[in-house]
Amino acid sequence: MSKKGIIWAAVYGSLLTGFTAYVMLDTFLLPKVLQSDATEMNMSMFEDIEPVTLAPQTETEEVTEPATESSTEKRGKRRHGSDESTAPAEEASTSAVVSSEKSGEYTEYNDENISISLSEYYENDTKIYVADIQLSSAQYLKTAFAKDAYGKNVTAKTSETAAAKDAILAINGDYYGAKESGYVIRNGVVYRDYGSADTDVLCIYADGSFGITNSGEKSADELVEEGVWQAFSFGPALIENGSISVSENDEVGKAMASNPRTAVGIIDQLHYVFVVSDGRTSESEGLSLYELAEFMEKLGVETAYNLDGGGSSTMYYDGQVVNNPTTSGNSIKERSVSDIVYIGY
């Protein structure tokens, strides 16, 4: 090869290497904000929906908790474990009490619009965390983007996004940013309108009801016109019409059969469950999709949907992570993700 040919080959090789490096960085690392969050838009969707009055919760004992500056304590009282204290009466409209039959721990929040009970279970050699939630309106079931921005490679830990939104309770979402397609509807706003073929989409309507559709059946704009407030594209659906809708062999892509999992379900009107399981550790093996569906069926769920799992699976409550997030099992730490689902104001 001539000297000129060698030089051109070297230049071409350098350009190709640089372009490949840029593509890799652009795909996996470089954050790119495509649209700012618009969580306050479309609140008019709730104007014609009558709020539900939550039944008062029965207190099992009187407790007193020192006052703090936490805004969630100002909204409602909570009790944790064997705490023998309670927030002053003027800081909350009602009291809160919860118990977990499995773990013996107590974690509950309650005010006039939101009631949350947190419990731990141990099934299939796995620790499972369940938040039982009752709301007066679906407007308190919210989502948020990492760093308040919809985009590519824009991520933050679930706990960081939850704290920024003053969330009472939060779980990781569908990690929309890890995929190039799949409907993204958040708080009544369409952010991505091209779907993934044969993907179950969870639709949460403004009246709080759940529905499962396929991204090929209707456009994102059509879903919003029908009253869809949130739409998630991960899946699959675990339970539909009260019956398990996955088989024992179903799995997400090439994922392992036993994994940390995150799921959301509805029991009846404005009555939900957030479920997160540990996995990949010596203490918790993890769940298959079918085991997760079986567990949620036992909770009495009418519709249940699988969200992003593995290292993403995180549950946050009252300023702290309550499960043990891990990617490899070698260390317990949160993975940064694109979005969260949360309960709050």
Residue bearing the bigger pLDDT, 26 or 214: 214
88 in the same domain as 208: no
Question: DSSP secondary structure string, 60-101?
Answer: SS--B----S-HHHHH-EEEETT--B---GGG-SS------T
Q: For residue 214, what are the domain limits?
A: 33-52+113-343
- Model confidence pLDDT, tens digit, residues 220-237: 999 999 999 999 999 999
What mean pLDDT comes out for the span 192-203? Answer: 90
239 in the same domain as 172: yes
- Predicted TM-score (pTM) of the model is 0.78
What mean pLDDT comes out for the span 172-199? Answer: 92
What mean pLDDT comes out for the span 316-342? Answer: 96
291 in the same domain as 205: yes
Give the Cα separation of 302 and 99 in Å (integer): 23
80 in the same domain as 216: no
The pLDDT of residue 250: 82
E-strand spans in 279-337? 303-307, 315-317, 320-321, 336-337
What mean pLDDT comes out for the span 127-138? Answer: 97
Tell me how many domains the chain contains. Answer: 3
* Strand 237-240 to 210-214 pairing: unpaired
- Model confidence pLDDT, tens digit, residues 237-291: 999 999 999 998 887 765 667 899 999 999 999 999 999 999 999 999 999 999 9
125 in the same domain as 95: no
Contact 113, 140 (CB under 8 A): yes
Within 10 A of 150 (CB to CB), how many other CB atoms are there?
A: 23
60 in the same domain as 15: no
pLDDT band at residue 301 under the 50/70/90 scheme: very high
The pLDDT of residue 83: 39
| The pair of three-digit structure tokens given for residue 84, joined into one six-digit string | 């023998």
| The pair of three-digit structure tokens given for residue 330, joined into one six-digit string | 């070698």
End residue of a domain, out of 93, 112, 131: 112
233 in the same domain as 144: yes
What mean pLDDT comes out for the span 320-343? Answer: 96
301 in the same domain as 168: yes
Highest mean pLDDT among 52-66, 100-114, 132-146, 253-267: 132-146
Contact 131, 162 (CB under 8 A): no
189 in the same domain as 336: yes
Peptide bond into 260 cis (omega under 30): no
Contacts of 295 (CB under 8 A, 6+ apart): 121, 123, 124, 128, 275, 287
239 in the same domain as 175: yes
329 in the same domain as 198: yes
The pLDDT of residue 315: 98
Tell me the average pLDDT of the chain.
Answer: 81
Highest mean pLDDT among 37-41, 65-69, 100-104: 37-41
Q: Is 245 exposed, middle or buried (0-12, 13-18, 19+ CB in 10 A)?
A: middle
End residue of a domain, out of 64, 94, 112: 112
End residue of a domain, out of 64, 96, 112: 112
Residue 128 in this model has a pLDDT that exceeds 80: yes
Q: Give the lowest-confidence range in 65-74, 189-198, 283-292.
A: 65-74
- Model confidence pLDDT, tens digit, residues 19-51: 554 444 454 455 656 665 655 545 566 666 667
214 in the same domain as 319: yes
